[in-house]
Amino acid sequence: MSAKSYILALDQGTTSSRAMIVDSTGSVRAIAQSPFRQIFPKPGWVEHSPTEIWSSQSGVATAALAKADLTERDIAAIGITNQRETTIVWDRETGEPVYNAIVWQDRRTAEFCESLRNSDGETIQAKTGLIPDAYFSGSKVRWILENVPGARSKAEAGKLVLGTVDSWLIWKLTHGARHVTDATNASRTMLFNIHTMDWDDDLLRLLGVPRSMLPEVVASSGVCGTTTGLIEGVPIAGIAGDQQAALFGQMCTKPGMAKCTYGTGAFMLLNIGTEPLASKHRLLTTVAWKIGHRVEYAFEGSMLMAGAVVQWLRDDLQMIRNSAEVEELAASVENANGVMLVPAFAGLGAPHWDQHARGTIVGLTRGSSRAHIARAALEGIALQATDVLEAMQADSGLALSQLRVDGGAAANNLLMQIQADTLGIEVVRPKNAEATVLGAAYLAGLAVGYWPNQEAIASQWQIDRVFRPSIEADERKRVRTVWRRALERAKDWAREEKAG
């Protein structure tokens, strides 16, 4: 076994921490995974213990090395990908968190963000590419400073620092020697100007965040520190938020290339090149990655419910025993027999952004069966993604010829075929479904010469299956028309609620 033969990729997710050993062919040689606690102090509040994030991530890193029978001497570099927007504040001297990590799902600052949207929404979107929302980090930091005793005064005295999860891991991996984040994670904070590529003083004042708390912003691919302690002497050379890492892992490196990750929710990103275009259809503009001095951008649309719809069929309606059964059940009928399901169980994400909308099933008759509902559920997932891609094409002026897919639900062949039918373009699934981890590994490997260039990486990307549209344009148009009517029914709930 030759020295420096592998990349260690750390994937710190919302419900678990993973570590993978990746070789020069892009194959995963070993994997270790560990779940950690989800903390729900109040309805709508979601927290993690920063200590448990670190202990689970460091534990799986050593476990993956052990499984592969490797030591740090065999590792060329470490790449990190992470749950985005989740925010941690800790003491600069002791390294101790002052409060739990406030998770991206947390809604405690929703009312403040709504007022911010009304007063300064256009300014914030122009600078950050983001629509003011509790989803992003800025309001979470403000909440900690306003609600943790002594936090505000300590922060203003320069004694506290903040970071997204990547910053926290790098601080721990380097024993506090490096306080950094990369451009992709910075662009999710609502404090970072994606045009100047720096923290924005106006936004810092607006949110009440001292600049002294902020990490240095580094490239997504580049050595930004060296590990000490647990793993000794390995360069940390790649960082990217999970969805940007998946975009890179799918090798969507040219404008007009897009990917969709189907997990609990679904996230679609479209590479738009080196100019941060403004969306007119309520999409987010985000940094895709920074490599050297080159910054590339993406449009992003998030769908709040994807795989979670299947979980609902399984756990709450008990229509299926396991998630895999939904494909067989839905395939047992030729179509949904007029049933349409809008999976707005937690409101609607992009491009609608209606937090008051509710899940809706329309078109039921006495002849409707659980198979029709199952098929309508898959169609609802696909039609949400179609709305997002349509908005992306309108905003970018780019015509997409294919959509690359990954994530757990991308294994569902029927869902992917329905997606191709509703989009009217090819849906392409790669052989290696670990796009997020591969993206982190590729970014790290590029920085240290493990892979010579992006072309060498792209040559490793292999297709598992291509799903081509199988319905005529008229039928696609008819389905979209029925979907829009069903969407209006879902939104009616919000309108009726507001009207009393």
Domain spans, the chain:
6-218, 251-500
Q: What Cα–Cα distance (Å) separates residue 2 from each residue in 44, 59, 71, 403?
A: 50, 25, 12, 38
Region 46-70 average pLDDT? 94
* Residue 422 confidence (pLDDT) above 90: yes
Element (DSSP H or E) covering residue 340: strand 340-342
- For 41-69, what is the mean pLDDT? 93
Task: Assess whether the region 6-218 and the region 251-500 belong to the same CATH fold.
Answer: yes
Q: What mean pLDDT do residues 331-351 have?
A: 87
Structure tokens at 438: 């591969």
225-228 contact pairs (CB < 8 A, 24+): 225/170, 225/173, 225/174, 225/177, 225/178, 225/180, 226/174, 227/72, 227/78, 227/173, 227/174, 228/173, 228/174, 228/175, 228/177
The CATH superfamily label for domain 251-500 reads ATPase, nucleotide binding domain (3.30.420.40)
260 pLDDT more than 90: yes
The pLDDT tens digits of the residues spanning 352-397 come to 877 778 888 888 999 889 999 999 999 999 999 999 999 999 999 8
Say whether pLDDT at 2 is over 60. Answer: no
Residue 490: pLDDT band with limits 50, 70, 90: confident
Residue 312: what pLDDT? 84
Separation CA 224–CA 201 (nearest Å): 24
**How confident is the model at residue 221, as a pLDDT?**
96
Percent of the chain with pLDDT over 70: 98
Q: How far apart are CA 65 and CA 407, in angstroms?
A: 24
CA distance 482 to 339: 10
CATH of domain 6-218: 3.30.420.40
Burial 223-250 (b: 16+ CB within 10 A, else e): ebbbbeeebeebbbbbbbbbbbbbbbbb
